Chain A
């Protein structure tokens, strides 16, 4: 599978046997910044769920490199603010990946969480309750949690939705820094074409269930 982390060939993804994304062919390489672009309802989230392995291909093939570690950043609105969790608690969840059930969360996991918070410049609000954080702060916390899983591929579902332009810019800067520092592959779903112009290696456009890849200008 050469150096590809993940390869999709003529795959259909969908729900209850009905394909939403059809004939998708993609390759995810290490150390690249890719944006999945598309309007609402175009199928980009379905494609993302397919890449994550939440949806098995209805047709075609999906190959992942053995032992591939994916860090996932969901849309922050999907998380329930009722849970009494601090930012540090949320980030620590990322460090639980390799922790067997009989072991308590130890110093190694806590240190990894602190390091991830620091990388995402979120240490200042680590002890604050997650539900009380602003949209931008929550996004940094979720990014830190994904980093705490020690990923090779970072998948982000609309991380810039609903944040102000300044926060959006600083998040994108942060993602570029992380990619440079860790050699991460970063794939990000968005429909804000203006904010990512000129800042990605590739743009994958999803429109009406059809996927087309094109080089970034």
Chain B
């Protein structure tokens, strides 16, 4: 658990961003439920998804495009959400027909448009997956800042105008008699809902946004004795569901969005069942206690199972029997002609490099991450390895030539066999394939002979990976399975 949530985790941005979206949706969801606008909560995320699909189709971009792609997605999402919202409000004022009619039509049109735009886009398959599960794993520091700004702005407006929003929702006529304009505060509420949905869909996808708009609020309104407590319970359910769901998805290797939503649904069902059986206050306490206990216990169990599965030894493949000897894994020589730097998930860690600090620690590279992964893969095959960090500390710039690298390792105080290599290709194609060429040699420094060699040359599918870290996370296993002869 701590590994997943540590500041250096690959999922750091995804967790913080997703948590921000979950909290935003849970706050606004209380008002959506109370004002019986739940259908808007379905239709607007779908309209937002259609907006993203339309912009990507028109510009030829895809979710994996990086850089300005997120700006385009945000523009599409905001444009479609506020466009749909304006049409709904204008239609409601003019026609005098039930709001559900227009909202239902909006949902049907948006869903169809999303599928059509995706079908028209040459990168359609990847697009569909990206749209449905959102961009959580590809969140950059800039995206995270945007979500933080939206969260703080929405939270501040919510707190500042809490009384006016409540009056405009609960009794608009009374609000007018004490000088509050319900129209103005309705517009504010719709603005907050629209903005949050647009950012949320771009970040986490329509499923997560709708799920967290509805389920935490439903759970909270079952037991909350007051509106303030309803907001607090909704936020707590959302945060716990998201963090627990993310941990569960990570442990069980399942898609994060649906698992988080399923977790929120489980909360709602537990709370609804207990609220049905017990009076309000006691139900609130008991349900929260059970949920708070159940989520970490369930996660811990699944995590333990996954850890046991990951810890199960793998066949040694073509590797020689190295019983009793500790292998030293060096970063492979970079022969790609590219720097292969891996940007940090934490923007402030890259800041010293950006401002030219000569004392800044060297940025991680793909060969360094491959070194860590190779060490872990050897360990899973029952082979003792020297800690990769200690090796890098002692030998930060090993020679590129394999034999010289082995000698340098021995001189640096590592007497065991040395695994070194050469990375001559590391390219991700537009079709989501990693083209890799990695040659590995295991050298006995005593005899200065190559006692084993292997290579990985097969393309690896990394469709779901959108950052260098994710590419390495997805591709590391197949690369070393091939190189160590387990394929």
Secondary structure class of chain A's binding surface, majority of residues: loop
By DSSP majority rule, is chain B's interface helix, strand, loop, or mixed? Answer: helix
Beta-carbon contact of B170 and A80 below 8 Å: yes
**Across-interface contacts of B230 in A (CB, < 8 A):** 84
A93 to B224, CA, bound (A): 19
Interchain CB contact under 8 A, A74 and B170: no
| Given A72-B177, A82-B34, A83-B34: A101 and B171 interface contact (C-beta under 8 Å) | no
Chain A residues within an 8 Å CB radius of B178: 93-94, 96-97, 149
Within 8 A of A (CB), among B160-214: 160-161, 163-164, 166-167, 169-171, 173-174, 176-179
Contact with A99, one of B163, B169, B226 (Cβ below 8 angstroms) = B163
A7 to B352, CA, bound (A): 73
Q: Which residues in B have their C-beta under 8 angstroms from that of A72?
A: 173-174, 177
A105 neighbours in B (Cβ, 8 Å): 163
- Cross-interface CB contact of B225 among A70, A101, A129, cutoff 8 Å: A129
Q: Contact: A145 with B227, CB < 8 Å?
A: no
User: Does chain B have a CB within 8 A of A89?
Assistant: yes
9 contacts between A and B (CB under 8 A): A52-B177, A72-B177, A80-B170, A82-B33, A86-B226, A89-B226, A93-B166, A97-B179, A101-B164
Contacts of B33 in A (CB 8 A): 82
Q: Is B366 an interface residue, CB under 8 A from the partner?
A: no
**Cross-chain contact B224 with A84 (CB below 8 angstroms):** yes
Complex: how many Å from CA A82 to CA B161? 21
Residues B22-53 near A (CB distance < 8 A) = 33-34, 36
Query: Hey, which chain A residues are within 8 Å of B295, CB to CB?
Result: none
* B333 interface residue per 8 A CB criterion: no
How many residues on the A side are at the interface (Cβ–Cβ under 8 A)? 27
Say how far A110's CB is from chain B's closest CB, in angstroms.
14
Known: A83-B169, A101-B163. 12 other contacts (CB 8 A): A74-B171, A82-B34, A84-B225, A84-B227, A85-B226, A93-B167, A93-B170, A96-B167, A97-B178, A101-B161, A102-B160, A145-B174
Q: Within residues 216 to 237 of chain B, which ones have a CB less than 8 A from any CB in chain A? A: 221, 224-227, 229-230
**Docked CA distance A204–B230 (Å):** 45
Number of A-B contacts (CB under 8 A): 68
List the B residue with the shortest CB-CB distance to A157.
B173
* B157 CB to nearest A CB, Å: 10
Q: Is the CB of B160 within 8 A of A79?
A: no
Chain B residues positioned under 8 Å from A96 (CB to CB): 163, 167, 178
Question: A53 in the interface, Cβ–Cβ < 8 Å?
Answer: yes
CB distance from B34 to the nearest CB of A (A): 5
Contact of A71 with B by CB under 8 A: yes
Give Cα A53 to B160, complex, Å.
27
Q: In the bound complex, do residue B170 and residue A83 qualify as a contact, i.e. CB atoms below 8 Å apart?
A: yes
Residues 78-137 of A at the B interface (beta carbon under 8 Å): 78-80, 82-86, 89, 93-94, 96-97, 99, 101-102, 105, 129
A94 to B210, CA, bound (A): 34
Chain A residues with CB under 8 Å of B34's CB are 80, 82-83
For the complex, give the distance between the alpha carbons of A102 and B173 in Å.
Answer: 23
Give chain B nearest CB distance to A129 CB in angstroms. 7
| 4 pairs of A and B residues whose beta carbons are closest in the complex | A97-B178, A72-B177, A84-B224, A96-B163
Contact in complex: A78, B171 (CB < 8 Å) = yes
Nearest CB in chain A to that of B174: its residue: A72
Among A71, A83, A89, which residue has the most Cβ atoms of chain B within 10 A? Answer: A83
Given A78-B171, A80-B170, A70:B227 Cβ within 8 A: no
Q: In the complex, which residues of chain B have a beta carbon less than 8 angstroms from the beta carbon of A80? A: 34, 36, 170
Complex CA gap A71/B163 in Å reads: 18
Q: Which residue of A lies closest to B226 (CB)?
A: A84
A93 to B160, CA, bound (A): 15
- CB contact between A85 and one of B163, B174, B177, B227 (< 8 Å): that residue: B227
Residues on A with C-beta less than 8 A from B169 are 83
Chain B residues with Cβ below 8 Å from A145 are 174
Decide if A83 touches B227 in the complex (CB within 8 Å): yes
A83 to B170, CA, bound (A): 7
User: Shortest distance in angstroms between A181's beta carbon and chain B's nearest beta carbon?
Assistant: 21
Distance in Å from the Cβ of A88 to the closest Cβ of chain B? 10
Contacts of A71 in B (CB 8 A): 177
Complexed CA–CA distance, A90 and B178 (Å): 14
- A82 to B38 alpha-carbon distance, docked (Å): 14
**Closest beta carbon of chain B to A71's beta carbon, Å:** 7
**Nearest Cβ on chain A to B28's Cβ, whole angstroms:** 16
A89–B178 alpha-carbon span in the complex (Å): 16
| Residues of A contacting B171 in the complex (Cβ-Cβ under 8 angstroms) | 74, 78-79, 93
Most buried by B among A74, A84, A93: A84
Q: Are A54 and B173 in contact (CB under 8 A)?
A: yes
Q: How far, in Å, is B31 (CB) from chain A's closest CB?
A: 10
Whether A101 pairs with B224 at a CB distance below 8 angstroms is no
CA distance A74 to B178 in the complex (A): 13
Q: How far is it, in angstroms, between the C-alpha of A102 and the C-alpha of B34 when the chains are bound?
A: 24
What per-residue 1/0 map shows which CB atoms of A200-213 lie under 8 Å from chain B?
00000000000000
Map CB proximity to A onto B137-166 as digits: 1 under 8 Å, 0 otherwise.
Answer: 000000000000000000000001101101
Using known A-B contacts A74-B171, A93-B167, determine if residue A149 contacts B160 with beta carbons closer than 8 Å: no
Chain B nearest Cβ from A186, distance in angstroms = 15
With CB as the reference atom, state the residue of chain B lying closest to A53. Answer: B176
Kindly report which residue of chain A lies nearest to residue B30, judged by CB atoms. Answer: A84
- In the assembled complex, the Cα of A82 lies from the Cα of B36 at a distance in Å of 9
Nearest chain A CB to B160 CB, angstrom units: 5
The reply to whether A89 and B173 form a contact with Cβ atoms under 8 Å apart is no
Interface pair A89/B227, CB less than 8 Å apart: yes
Q: Which residue of A lies closest to B161 (CB)?
A: A101
- Which interface residue of B161, B177, B229 has the most chain A CB atoms within 10 A? B177
Interface residues of B in 42-80 (CB under 8 A from A): none
Q: Is A54 within 8 A of B170, CB to CB?
A: no
Q: How near does chain A come to B283, taking the closest CB pair, in angstroms?
A: 13
In the complex the two chains form, what is the Cα distance from A79 to B167 in whole Å?
11
> What residues of chain A lie closer than 8 Å to B160, measured between beta carbons?
101-102
Contacts of A149 in B (CB 8 A): 177-178
Q: How far is the CA of A192 from the CA of B140 in the complex (A)?
A: 67
| A74 contacts B173, C-beta separation under 8 Å | yes
Contacts of A86 in B (CB 8 A): 225-226
Q: Which residues of chain A have C-beta atoms less than 8 A from B176's C-beta? A: 52-54
Chain A's nearest CB lies how many Å from the CB of B387? 54
A78 to B173, CA, bound (A): 10
